[in-house]
A and B are shown apart, each in its own frame.
Chain A
Amino acid sequence: MADIAPVRLAAPPAVSVVVPTRNEAENVRPLVEQLREALGATPAEIVFVDDSDDDTPATVTALSERDPDGVRLVHRAVGERTGGLGGAVAAGLAAARAPWVVVMDGDLQHPPETVPALLAAGRRNRADAVVASRYRTPGRVDGLSGGFRRLVSRASGTLAKVFFPRRLRAVTDPMSGFFAVRREAVDLGALRPRGYKILLEVVVRSRMARVDEVPYTFRPRAAGESKASFREGVRYLRHLSLLRLAATRHPVSPLGRMTGFALAGGAGTAVNSAALWALGEVAGLPYLLAGFLAVQVAIVWNFAVIDNLVMPPGEHARHRRFGRFLLLNNSLTPVHLGLLFGLVQWGGLHYLPANLVAIVVVFTLRYAVTSRWVYGAPPSGVVGTLRRAVQTRLLLAALLTAVAFPALVAIAWNGLWTRGDAVPLLIPVAAGAALAARRIRPGLTEPDVHDRQVDGLLAAVLLTAAGTLLALMPSPGWLVPAALAFLAGSAILLVGTRAVARLRWALLLPLVAIGGVMPAVDGAVDAGLRAVVTLLGRPAGPTSSDGGLVTAYKGAELLLPAHQLPGLALAGGMVCLLISAVVIFGWRGRAVLRAAAASTVLAAVTVGAVLAVLLVGRLLGPGAFRIAQLPVFVDILLAVVVAVVVARWSPVPDRAPARAVRQHLPRGRFVLVALLAMAVLLSVRTLPQIEWITAGGVR
């Protein structure tokens, strides 16, 4: 009679508990006992990943022999201990067989009775990971000795949350070494354990979307020595930065990729311009040759950025990717150079701005070509998303307005270099964009009723008004209303009346830019600024006789003239804040209070900026002072502050209940052509009056 091997029909484990150990022989047995008690009937396996040099492996092996499926040992010998503690956990994750993996320390500071709670939370909330937190109210930090260490632990947790605010939103203890993860949510290949705090590594590198938390109480150590050391803490910051970089690189979402492409394109434009300037102005090459070379430089730069930071590697080797990229991008280089030639030769533009125009045109063309030819009629993926986005349509409306009113663009541009007598357009436009950004999706109660004829009629009225204003009212003060009428009309045609009605306040904000009402407050605001700046004293010196601010550099006096003070910009920014607050919060005291608080911040920033300008003059001399006092810097600063404040005020749209009906987007192809034609016609009106000021041309 043959020997029949005992067949064990144990259920596959529902949970794997991974315990990294190092010289903890005396803790192993109690841990196993407590875990079995805590898990009860749940089929489980305990994987010890052991980096010890003492008799810990022997203890585990002894346990394992009695229960080969319940206790397993992964021993890493001296040469194999890569990644320290983190590496050990990664090895344990790789060895685990159950759908849920709990990671905990072997020193009994992590109470095994919390494990079922972790698993339950994970199943209940469909999370990718569940963290056992020391800080969530019922849990307490009893085990960490000393207030200072507790503080360090808390601070490092907060730091991690600063680095990953979205992913760690629900997590109070990102430093925890005690957590459960869904096995299939972990991307083992992406892990680069660095010894410290494997939880962050797992959550960030695996791009987990849902992380939950349960409380527990950290227990005093039973035996053995603690591994948390000061050196580990120092390495922590480096690890965090690397993780942040990794999480930002190669974004997965279409929006993230789009943003990546846009940023790369923006940087590429700058590189192209810089290269053209260097080759044309400094090296003195003929501009067409310089233009060609600059395009090549920009292509290499774009490839480097996109390949390293934006797109995942894909299946082709790097040199092949580069070859394709070069070919595709150079296919339109003749168009680029032809356009450059035409604009310089017949358009009378300097070749640097002409190059900018050519870049924009070629970019648009390439986009159109790839979406039509490469991707075929039903555009998919990023291209389709982009085409169907309301944002794209709004951007188009804004671009068309810029085309139709080049004089306004010139005024806005010139305002960056010299202070005009109006609020810099930049600030209200930034506020308007911030206000519009959060209102693009329709509200839940908004009726889904649209009418193309109403769109057409309203747009006809507005476009006629724009044309009439442009034709009859030559004063530049009427340019903004005319442009707004055009913008509103084209936006109505491109995104529909209802969407524009939702965005109406954002569209109207640029009206603030009309200086007509401002001169009254202008003097007062300037005087206030002056008073505060002089009150703060150094680096500002006394006031000059005509109201300018004076500072000194090596005995020579430097003057910030009165008309260069950013009073109008500040006043305009405050008005924008007030209007935005009223739009967002309604006619309530809260709105005024918020606007007042934000205005105070804005004023403080302005004072700080003026002081900074004076400080630059005092420290670096007249050359730097001349550049620092250009209005563009203060204006951009104020625009950013206003936009950030407005964006923070805006309510976050409900992300969960996606509307059953897709957002209404009217057909816009013919409309676009008609609008473009109209814009070009309108542009003829103001084109001859344009005078561009460049940074160098400042008096």
Chain B
Amino acid sequence: MNPFSARTVLSRAQRAGLVVALALIAAWAVLRPMIVVQTVVAVVTVAYGAAIVFRVVLVWAASRGEHLIRVTDEEARAVPDHELPVYTVLVPAYREPSVIGLLMSHLGALEYPADRLEVILLLEEDDRETIEAAARVATAPHVRILVVPESQPKTKPKACNVGLEQATGEFVTIYDAEDVPDPLQLRRAVVALRRLGTEYVCLQAELGYFNVDQNRITRWFALEYATWFRSLLPGLVALRMPIPLGGTSNHFRARELRDIGAWDPYNVTEDADLGIRLARSGRRVGVLHSVTLEEANSDFINWIKQRSRWYKGYLMTWLVHLRSPRATVRQLGWRGLLCLNLFVGGTPLAALLNAVLWATTILWFLDRPPVMEEIFVPPFYYLGVLCLVFGNATVIYLNVLSARTMDRPDLLGTALLSPAYWAMMSLAGAKAAWQLLVKPSYWEKTTHGLHLAKESADVG
């Protein structure tokens, strides 16, 4: 049994600690309300400032030297077919009948000998539509349809675990149904993992979007991904910190993956959790320079749903790995701890706090209530102002930087408009926090194929 499963979000000790802490704070708040508020504000401001500084440090670290693992096309193709290992591709899909046909053509484009490739489509029992659609297109002998029996929790990691049990490959990777992977990606991963040695058990390929220009949301999303995969993740690699994996295109050594217990079916960002667990077991993760294109979420509500699931999962992962603090410190070291708190926990919390802080700022400019002067004690007030001015400028600057690394100068306007995107993030953060309390293991399904409707409408 995985000790870090999100089956219970808070362990008994955590719960007791939380209750005691809240009781103490409440008691104190009754006695000295102003001091409690001041302290909360101070702690929040410092944490917020630290998260921003951490990001800047990551970008700085990423910019010093090369931290992506590069395998050229020639090197990738140089491996003779008979020396390639069996590679298992897991494709979990639920309610995706519209994109399953495209998936087959994208996987067909992979340059990997069919006799050494094993594609397992992981479909859910109650999803007849997708099963039928898949049965129509999955005609190649190396493609298997595996219907996952109905059982709770019905999540993507559960399906992946079922698939992993059946997998025969030496290497395993995951693609989502709508992904368009780089055709040489599997070969690159093989070459890279062999070159790096057994210390590395996982490679995360870069993710990008094929529908960047569909609307403003997809452009923001693309910029954010560029920041994430070109600056933040390489920064984590450079500082030898744990890497929260992305949901698709992670390439594993199958044996090691099984050893550490594979995915946590109760965690809704099983990938990030897996990244931390890999780090705890002393294994390393690299970022492979090979892009998988995904569908950027183009719809506001759909985006909020997806993002809230990610944030909920990050919060879960954060809480889960704080269960036994001493073991965490021992296994992750101070770097890992920083990453866990400021990156995994910090991303959703910052999104959530952003809304509160912006509301406070607006309130101040509207009404200047005198009580706020009391709440913000001078040193923290100045720190807060610094965060407001410097922090926002930094994040916008990072986005502008990403527009540059993507070589898409036309995204400059989008980068400058990113505060509106933060508002969306805050909304997702609030939804995530609410769901974490109400239904933690609920998998907020993202609808795919929205770019298809648009295209057919444009044509017809």
Contact = CB atoms under 8 A, between A and B. Distances in A.
Contact of A454 (B431, B453, B457): B431
A449 B305 contact: yes
A458 B427 contact: yes
Contacts of B431: 451, 453-454, 457
A126 interface: no
Contact of A445 (B305, B308, B454): B454
Contacts of B453: 445, 447
Given A445-B453, A451-B431, A473-B367, 9 more contacts: A445-B454, A447-B299, A447-B453, A451-B301, A454-B301, A458-B427, A472-B366, A472-B367, A501-B300
A56 interface: no
A472 B359 CA distance: 14
27 contacts: A444-B457, A445-B453, A445-B454, A447-B299, A447-B302, A447-B447, A447-B453, A449-B302, A450-B301, A451-B301, A451-B304, A451-B305, A453-B308, A454-B301, A454-B305, A454-B427, A457-B427, A458-B427, A461-B427, A468-B363, A469-B366, A472-B363, A472-B366, A473-B366, A473-B367, A497-B301, A501-B300
Question: Lowest 8 A-B CB distances belong to which pairs?
Answer: A472-B367, A445-B457, A449-B302, A447-B299, A453-B431, A454-B304, A445-B453, A449-B301
A469 B304 CA distance: 27
Given A454-B301, A473-B366, A498-B301, A447 B427 contact: no
B365 to A, nearest CB: 11
Interface residues of B, number: 20
Interface string A40-66: 000000000000000000000000000
B413 to A, nearest CB: 15
Contacts of B447: 447, 449
Interface of B: 299-302, 304-305, 308, 363, 366-367, 427, 430-431, 434-435, 447, 450, 453-454, 457
Contacts of B305: 449, 451, 454
Contacts of B363: 468, 472
Contacts of A501: 300
- Main secondary structure, interface of A, reads helix
B450 to A, nearest CB: 5
A461 B304 CA distance: 15
A469 B450 CA distance: 38
A449 B299 contact: yes
Contacts of B304: 451, 454
A498 B299 CA distance: 10
Nearest to B445: A449
Contacts of A450: 301
A454 B434 CA distance: 11
Nearest to B308: A453
Nearest to B446: A449
Interface string A296-307: 000000000000
A497 B427 contact: no
Interface in A607-663: none
A498 B367 CA distance: 32
A458 B301 CA distance: 11
A465 to B, nearest CB: 9
B66 to A, nearest CB: 41
A463 to B, nearest CB: 13
Nearest to B430: A457
Nearest to A445: B457
Nearest to B369: A472
Interface in A491-508: 497-498, 501
A447 B449 CA distance: 10
Contacts of A461: 427
Contacts of B430: 457
